Structure 1
């Protein structure tokens, strides 16, 4: 029988903590918008192709926010309760359309936060509304008189269309309520606004049960990321940056205080949240951003995880340090095997950056059939090259499960449905989960990496999160806050309830996303949003500790201002 090449597809679902630490308001709407577009569609594709098998990774902080939004929407529908998201309240009619020019300008800005070629231009009524909105500006400045003449109905329609543009293909095709709203085109009523919130509430309430059902059917393997999405190797040791960034300056703080205990807290809390939502303990973990080190694997061993994964850059550097023979590195032969790093027990899978980036960045402009043919052709070539190699091989493709699809036509509906169908039916390709790939090894000893160079899936380094002035300044602010936290905890002056809240608030501050966005190369608007949220989260931490926040937390850390970037800066390509 002809040997098949195994393919492990892993979709990572993650959004940072967007709820403001000071007023409990969601400052950015990406959790519920990605839920109605991407988390719903990704489940629908799998439900439509029962033969497909993939790994789906959820960040616990995302699971909590999905549940929170679902509860808020249901309370609004049942009791008229105001929700904690300004944009959501506006589209629901819970908040009136404001009269103030600047508040109206903010609605106009918010309703253009989408990729225009696929999400605005495809809908003529929405395109017309956006064109009218842009006419309220002259030489880049808001005409306050002109915008004041726009009717309330204009803003209601703009808000409704913005949310309709975020509806996933599965909802547009199968939910009659969405079809009805799309067909109306304009002059949306309060009844229509209520209907839109019903669709979103039903969708968000269904996300977790749908993925749980897919897991129970054996179609997907669910894995997790540590709770707040921290870069675990950097929590453990700032020196983890040095092997891949020898010339980059580290933060002034010599280390993150008590980082090992905090890394352990994130794993423990992440497991707790995961089990609350899915009812079982996962076998694998995608450490935030694929960030690995020997010490991080040691932590995973403590919790009995079977596998983790990282990027091709980490694989290559580790192979070179481990003096792997050139024959095994030729054409990336050893990339396509699960590996071990003694004395650690947790197995390592490594991402094929080229194949992953084809999906993440390149195929968006291809015809779906051509893209899938090309992808399968690459896999066939790998299979052919490895056909005489002993043991089990597996090709690993890992990427975000939400950020790529808006750049495809129709939220990648044609591409993903064709991809799943073709892979599931292919006579020489076998879709597997990471646990299945390990089981196929039959208990045989894995090839070893004697050295594991610390790094992430982005460039094989931690340069996206540390080593730049703005990023280092953020680490120093965080380390200063952690030192204060430690002193207060040691004093025993806080109640048990307040101590628990402070520990969770600290976890939010330790998330990787704040550091991702700091730097001149990122879009200024996004840098401003994340900079402000980070500093406000730190201020809230000091408040919970009953300490006065440092004055410097009022000053912006980073300004951004870089030119256009891939997928609005939400993803990084390695090729």
Structure 2
């Protein structure tokens, strides 16, 4: 084929959120699932719909898909008078009567409505900016809140959701445009019309991506069910492969962790099939976390490809050279196989991916895309026309865009437009490259276990706070094993407990613990983690130990992008 002369470029966008929902009450403790859906997941689909020549891999965490579905069910039940909306912000948006000014419920809603990017979202809209200034004023002088009119909170709720709205929706939806033009004095009808738009967006996400997959524009792939870090579930000691001196939790390993990793992968396939009506060929193992035993698990579940960060291949190549000093392989822009595993692994170009995540937000879109494509052209020139070459840009599809003007609208449009028609670069997907025989994985003796961040597991284990969190999880798992083995739980109770355990196994909790991260976000996530553990104990009928109620971590850092994203390499580190 004529296209074979071009160097393949794969853009892989990872969509995931941990479980913010309390299994006992159905309440959502944080709104990030539906907010990222109306802003990012919808925009990312729209950019591909508007450029039919473009292609991408889009990876979904199953726990995210289930939470989107839960929002839809709750809103539909509320519409029919059969239940409440479990998210305080959405419930407030639709409420006939809002909390009275000065009450705790009122204060909580106001504070939630200010959790948005100050420059790119709040200050972009004069009406929203004025409301935020007033909220700050009343926060400093709470005795004046009794004089606040009801319409202040109503307007703030509307503007919060308008601010988080996806740019493609903002440019096309007449209801959103009308509300923005009105700017203030929003009625109950206005608020419920906005809720209808949100419901429509949520309900369209899975079908839109399914249609893109059926057209061949998108390859859909999957992560473990609750975004668990598989290598650490299987074997905590795997963290020592890249960091021999790392301090590990007091428990020697996660009890029956290989069995739980298998459960995470089996459930991922079930949920993916239910939402998209197809099998996933690829798996982005949570955080690109891989080990030799993880590769074996992915083989057993029939996956055709996986991926990780380029530090993992550098570590693995260094190990291979110790065994064979004459080994010449060194390129990150090609797939590899390791040991007896059959599955090919593609590796993220950290430099290119981090330019999008941390550098280009303040550039003019054409300049940013021009610079990125220039780097890709240089890679293509240096690798020539060898059949195994592929350039991989892998990053989350949600957190970067709030730092860009208009949610990255101009950057993404330009990126797809330029790459879709480039004479030397070809947008593709991993499945397509494998189907067409366009790549030839090189064989190496062993994969050195690690993740896309630094090629290690230091973001999830090793810090004292992270290790305490692992010890709490291991202790809960021991209670779970004992009580489920006793035969005292019904099949339904066991199923609910197993699913709740999976949520506790998610990688996000360990990501946030430690001084590196901001205090407010650490507080949010460590309280949510402990709440999930308490729910697990409730489901197995066991009192939670006192340690679960003790604060795990505080946080005091100010990382770039608020800590939601990290560069692939340590600062100053160039493999």
User: What is the TM-score of this pair, normalised by structure 2?
Assistant: 0.96
Aligned partner of 1:212 in structure 2 is: 210
Give the Cα separation in 2 of the matches to 1:571 and 1:158. 28
* Kept after mapping to 2: 8 A contact 1:394/1:437: no
1:300 aligns with 2:298: yes
- Pick closer, same or farther for the CA change 1:469–1:95 going to 2, 3 Å: farther
* Kept after mapping to 1: 8 A contact 2:101/2:145: no
* Kept after mapping to 1: 8 A contact 2:387/2:440: no
Aligned partner of 2:112 in structure 1 is: 110
Give the aligned CA root-mean-square deviation in angstroms: 1.6
Aligned partner of 1:431 in structure 2 is: 427
**SS of corresponding position for 1:396:** strand
Q: How many pairs does the alignment contain?
A: 565
**SS of corresponding position for 2:517:** coil
Deviates more, 1:472-481 or 1:565-574: 565-574
Q: Superposed, which structure 2 residues align to 1:249-268 within 5 Å?
A: 249-268=247-266
1:398 aligns with 2:400: no
Aligned partner of 1:414 in structure 2 is: 410
Give the Cα separation in 2 of the matches to 1:453 and 1:468. 21
Give the Cα separation in 2 of the matches to 1:178 and 1:74. 21
Q: Superposed, which structure 2 residues align to 1:102-251 within 5 Å?
A: 102-138=104-140, 143-251=141-249
1:560 aligns with 2:546: no
**SS of corresponding position for 1:6:** strand
Q: CA offset at residue 95 of structure 1? A: 5.6
Aligned partner of 1:529 in structure 2 is: 524
* Kept after mapping to 2: 8 A contact 1:126/1:158: yes
Aligned partner of 2:93 in structure 1 is: 91
Give the Cα separation in 2 of the matches to 1:130 and 1:409. 20
- Pick closer, same or farther for the CA change 1:94–1:25 going to 2, 3 Å: farther
* Kept after mapping to 2: 8 A contact 1:101/1:144: no
* Kept after mapping to 2: 8 A contact 1:489/1:499: yes
1:505 aligns with 2:500: yes
* Kept after mapping to 1: 8 A contact 2:320/2:327: no
* Kept after mapping to 2: 8 A contact 1:80/1:94: no
Give the Cα separation in 1 of the matches to 2:286 and 2:158. 34
Q: CA offset at residue 326 of structure 1? A: 8.3
Which 4+ runs in 1 deviate beyond 6 A? Answer: 324-327
**SS of corresponding position for 1:135:** helix
Q: CA offset at residue 78 of structure 1? A: 4.1
* Kept after mapping to 2: 8 A contact 1:5/1:379: no
2:481 pairs with one of 486, 489, 493: 486
**1:325-367 Cα deviation digits (max 9, x unpaired):** 78846xxx52111111130001100000000001111110000
2:311 pairs with one of 313, 316, 320: 313
Give the Cα separation in 1 of the matches to 2:378 and 2:418. 16
Give the Cα separation in 2 of the matches to 1:131 and 1:341. 56
Provide structure 1 residue ranges, at least 5 long, that are not aligned to the other structure.
none
* Kept after mapping to 1: 8 A contact 2:287/2:452: yes
Aligned partner of 2:58 in structure 1 is: 56
* Kept after mapping to 2: 8 A contact 1:514/1:530: yes
Aligned partner of 1:455 in structure 2 is: 450
- Pick closer, same or farther for the CA change 1:470–1:221 going to 2, 3 Å: same
Q: CA offset at residue 234 of structure 1? A: 0.2
Give the Cα separation in 1 of the matches to 2:325 and 2:47. 41
1:569 aligns with 2:557: no
1:446 aligns with 2:441: yes
Q: CA offset at residue 510 of structure 1? A: 0.5
Aligned partner of 1:340 in structure 2 is: 337
Q: Superposed, which structure 2 residues align to 1:62-101 within 5 Å?
A: 62-79=64-81, 81-93=83-95, 96-101=98-103
**SS of corresponding position for 1:137:** helix
* Kept after mapping to 1: 8 A contact 2:299/2:341: yes
**SS of corresponding position for 1:561:** coil
Aligned partner of 1:351 in structure 2 is: 348
Give the Cα separation in 2 of the matches to 1:145 and 1:356. 49
* Kept after mapping to 1: 8 A contact 2:101/2:148: no
**SS of corresponding position for 2:332:** helix
Aligned partner of 1:25 in structure 2 is: 27
Q: CA offset at residue 567 of structure 1? A: 1.5
**SS of corresponding position for 2:63:** helix
Give the Cα separation in 1 of the matches to 2:208 and 2:38. 13
Q: CA offset at residue 556 of structure 1? A: 1.0
Give the Cα separation in 2 of the matches to 1:95 and 1:520. 41
Q: CA offset at residue 531 of structure 1? A: 0.7
Aligned partner of 2:43 in structure 1 is: 41
Q: CA offset at residue 555 of structure 1? A: 1.2
Give the Cα separation in 2 of the matches to 1:362 and 1:78. 47
**1:295-326 Cα deviation digits (max 9, x unpaired):** 00000111111100000110100011011778
User: What is the TM-score of this pair, normalised by structure 1?
Assistant: 0.96
